[in-house]
Every structure is written in structure tokens, then in C-alpha cells.
């Protein structure tokens, strides 16, 4: 069965510091991968998605970036964090091949607090 | 533009009563529809989906949802609510020609004992 991991689970970082959040998926190949941010326990904001290694689409211009160095690894980064970057970050995956499910599966999330 | 609307920020129901969480959608092509549940400080959990076929789909934890094409709705239902159903619920949709799932803003379900 498929499993999605995210780490760290919680993170407290000062303004201006760098950020690296990692997401890995097990038990599938060639997934679509997604990064979301959720503020104040409400709606989801899609930040980035990837349909393959090195292929990143950005949904919202900001000081965050994403990379996909391996098929099942998705990394969210920032060179300098802002207070507004605080939130709950969720990684998700979906089968790329049509007809194999369509639904997305989410990781456990990372709670980021920028101080 | 594709969109998903959850018109109620919060739904309050007494334990044992039936519950409904509303969702309407606007996507191009045939819709693929989903419901997710989120407990505090957790990721979203997949509950159920409609792809094709029977308009009433059954999912996890006794939840079901009814697809209504004419009303472009996909309401989540449960015949008898439990206190443990209290959580944040998200409706989502994917158009048949789209690559990204669109999520609604979420509805907080509160079940009182």
C-alpha cells in the first residue's frame, strides 16, 4: 500500500531563516505531487505541483520554492522566511495515470511557526 | 473558472440526528467529486468519491454522498451523527479535462452530545 511521509512534524523558525520541508511517497511510481498551505485551520492554498522529476508548477508567487529531485520526493524551501509563511503545510500525491483513482492522498502535515 | 462552494462555515447537529454538509461545484466536462475529513493538526483523510455510475456513493465511517447533476451538487450525509464526527470537512472536484483538484473552503461540523 502507499504511504506518504512529511517531516518535520513541527518547526519553529525565526524570520529571515531558511526553510526545508520534505515529503516522500512510498508504494507508487510517477505520482503527481502537491504542496498546500492551510492557514488558521481553514481553506487549502495550492502552492506547487509536480508531474515529474524536475517539473514544478507554481501557483502563487511568493518567497517559497519547490523541487523534485527524485520521483517520489518533493521538497519545499525558502531562503528567508517571513512571518506570513506561518501555517500548516500539507503534501499530497495522486496517481498520474488517468483511470487509476483520481483522488489525492495527504501527508500528516508540518506545522510551521515563524517568530 | 472551476470552483467548489461550501456555503456553510459551520454545521451543528445533535448526536443521533442525521447530518448534511452541502457542496456545489462548477467544473468543465464530467466532474469527479470527493469528500475529505480533517481532524485537528492532521492531514486530510479521503472519505469517498464519485466518478461515474450510481449517484449515491458510500464511503468511510458511515458517510455517503449524493451526486445531483442538474443541481451541480454533491452533499455529504450520514443518517445518525456521532460526537466523533466533529471535524472539518472539505468537498473537492476535478474536471475531466483538468489536472488539478479544486477544494472548497471547508465546513466545520460540530456534533453535540
- For B:6-65, CB contacts with A below 8 A are 32, 34, 36, 40-46, 49, 51
Distance (Å) from the alpha carbon of A17 to chain B's nearest alpha carbon? 24
Look up residue A5 and give its three cell numbers: 511521509
Q: Cβ B36–A106 below 8 Å, yes or no?
A: yes
Q: Cβ B43–A43 below 8 Å, yes or no?
A: no
Top residue of A43, A103, A106, A113 to mutate, by most chain B CBs within 10 Å, is A103
pLDDT per position as a tens digit, A42-98: 899 999 999 999 999 998 868 899 999 999 999 999 999 999 999 999 999 998 766
Task: Identify all chain B residues contacting A43, using CB atoms and an 8 Å cutoff.
Answer: 103-106
Q: Cβ A109–B103 below 8 Å, yes or no?
A: no
Neighbours of B4 (CB within 10 A): 23
Q: Kindly indicate the confidence band of residue A108, based on its pLDDT and cuts at 50, 70 and 90.
A: very high
Structural domain harbouring B79: 3-98
pLDDT per position as a tens digit, B53-72: 899 999 999 999 999 999 99
**A3-114 belongs to CATH 2.60.40.10:** yes
Q: Cβ B46–A108 below 8 Å, yes or no?
A: no
Number of domains in chain B: 1
Q: What's the rounded Cα separation, in Å, for the pair A19 and A43?
A: 22
Q: Name the residue among B41, B24, B49, B50 with its Cα closest to residue B107.
A: B24
Q: Name the residue among A101, A92, A112 with its Cα closest to residue A8.
A: A112
Contacting residues for B66 by C-beta, under 8 A, at least 6 apart: B55, B56, B57, B73, B74, B75, B77
B10 in a domain, yes or no? Answer: yes
B106 in a domain, yes or no? Answer: no
Q: Share the mean pLDDT of chain A.
A: 92
Of A43, A102, A108, the CB nearest to B43: A108
What is the per-residue pLDDT for A61? 66
Strand A55-58 and strand A44-52: the pairing is: antiparallel
Question: Domains of chain A: which residue ranges?
Answer: 3-114
Of A103, A108, A111, the CB nearest to B49: A103
B105 in a domain, yes or no? Answer: no
Task: Identify all chain B residues contacting A6, using CB atoms and an 8 Å cutoff.
Answer: 43
The full DSSP string for chain A is: --EEEEE-SEEEE-TT--EEEEEEEES-SS-EEEEEEE-TTS-EEEEEEEEETTEEEESS-SSEEEEEEETTEEEEEESS--GGG-EEEEEEEE-SSTTS----EE---EEEEE-
Amino acid at each position: 500500500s502507499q504511504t506518504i511521509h512529511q517531516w518535520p512534524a513541527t518547526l519553529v523558525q525565526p524570520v529571515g531563516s531558511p526553510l526545508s520541508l520534505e515529503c516522500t511517497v512510498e508504494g507508487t511510481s510517477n505520482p503527481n505531487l502537491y504542496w498546500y498551505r492551510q492557514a488558521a485551520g481553514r481553506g487549502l492554498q495550492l502552492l506547487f505541483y509536480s508531474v515529474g522529476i524536475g517539473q514544478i508548477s507554481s501557483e502563487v508567487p511568493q518567497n517559497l520554492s519547490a523541487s523534485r529531485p527524485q520521483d517520489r520526493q518533493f521538497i519545499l524551501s525558502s531562503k528567508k522566511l517571513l512571518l506570513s509563511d506561518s501555517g500548516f503545510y500539507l503534501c499530497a500525491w495522486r496517481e498520474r495515470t488517468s483511470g487509476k483513482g483520481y483522488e489525492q492522498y495527504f501527508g500528516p502535515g508540518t506545522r510551521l511557526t515563524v517568530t | 473558472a472551476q470552483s467548489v462552494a461550501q456555503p456553510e462555515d459551520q454545521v451543528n447537529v445533535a448526536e443521533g440526528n442525521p447530518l448534511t454538509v452541502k457542496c456545489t461545484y462548477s467544473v468543465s466536462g464530467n466532474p469527479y467529486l470527493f469528500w475529505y475529513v480533517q481532524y485537528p493538526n492532521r492531514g486530510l483523510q479521503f472519505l469517498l468519491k464519485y466518478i461515474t455510475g450510481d449517484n449515491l456513493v458510500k464511503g468511510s465511517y458511515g458517510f455517503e454522498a449524493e451526486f445531483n447533476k442538474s443541481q451541480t451538487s454533491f452533499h455529504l450525509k450520514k443518517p445518525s451523527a456521532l460526537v466523533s464526527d466533529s471535524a472539518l470537512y472539505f468537498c473537492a472536484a476535478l474536471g475531466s479535462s483538468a489536472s488539478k483538484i479544486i477544494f472548497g473552503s471547508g465546513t466545520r461540523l460540530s456534533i453535540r452530545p
